[in-house]
C-alpha cells in the first residue's frame, strides 16, 4: 500500500477492495459531550481484521472492529452507540467522557 494513502482511510478501503478484500467502513455520525474524534472520522476494516483510521480509541475501537466483522459477514449495517461516564472513562481506556454514535456498513 502506498504510504500516501495512510492519511485517508477511505483511500485505503478503496485499495483493499481493488485487491478483492471484503471491507467495512465505520463513520462517526454524532457526538455528545467530549469525544476524541470528530463527526466524519472513519475506521476501515477488512475481513482479516486489518484496520486503518480511527473513530475513538481505547476499548471503543476494538468493539467497532468486532461489529464491523459481523457487518462484513452479514451485509447488514449497524448503528453503534458508546458512552462512558467521566469518572469511569480512564478505567476503560477512553481519554474522555461523552458519547459517540458510529455507523458501520459494508462497502464494495
Write down the H helix ranges in the chain: 9-18, 58-74, 86-89
Average pLDDT of the chain, as a whole number: 86
- For residue 4, pLDDT over 70 is answered with no
- For residue 2, pLDDT over 50 is answered with no
Between 97 and 15, the more confident residue is 15
How far CA 26 is from CA of 9, 16, 74, 82, 101, in Å, comes to 10, 15, 15, 13, 10
Is-contact 32 70, C-beta < 8 A? no
Q: How far is CA 88 from the centre of its chain?
A: 22
Amino acid at each position: 500500500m502506498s504510504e500516501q494513502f495512510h492519511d485517508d482511510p477511505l483511500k485505503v478501503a478503496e485499495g483493499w477492495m481493488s485487491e478483492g478484500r471484503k471491507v467495512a467502513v465505520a463513520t462517526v455520525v454524532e457526538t455528545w459531550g467530549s469525544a476524541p474524534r470528530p463527526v466524519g472520522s472513519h475506521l476501515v476494516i477488512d475481513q482479516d481484521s486489518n484496520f486503518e483510521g480511527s473513530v475513538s480509541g481505547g476499548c471503543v475501537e476494538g468493539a467497532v472492529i468486532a461489529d464491523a466483522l459481523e457487518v462484513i459477514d452479514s451485509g447488514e449495517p449497524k448503528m453503534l452507540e458508546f458512552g462512558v461516564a467521566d469518572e469511569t472513562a480512564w478505567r476503560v481506556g477512553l481519554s474522555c467522557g461523552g458519547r459517540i454514535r458510529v455507523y458501520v456498513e459494508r462497502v464494495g
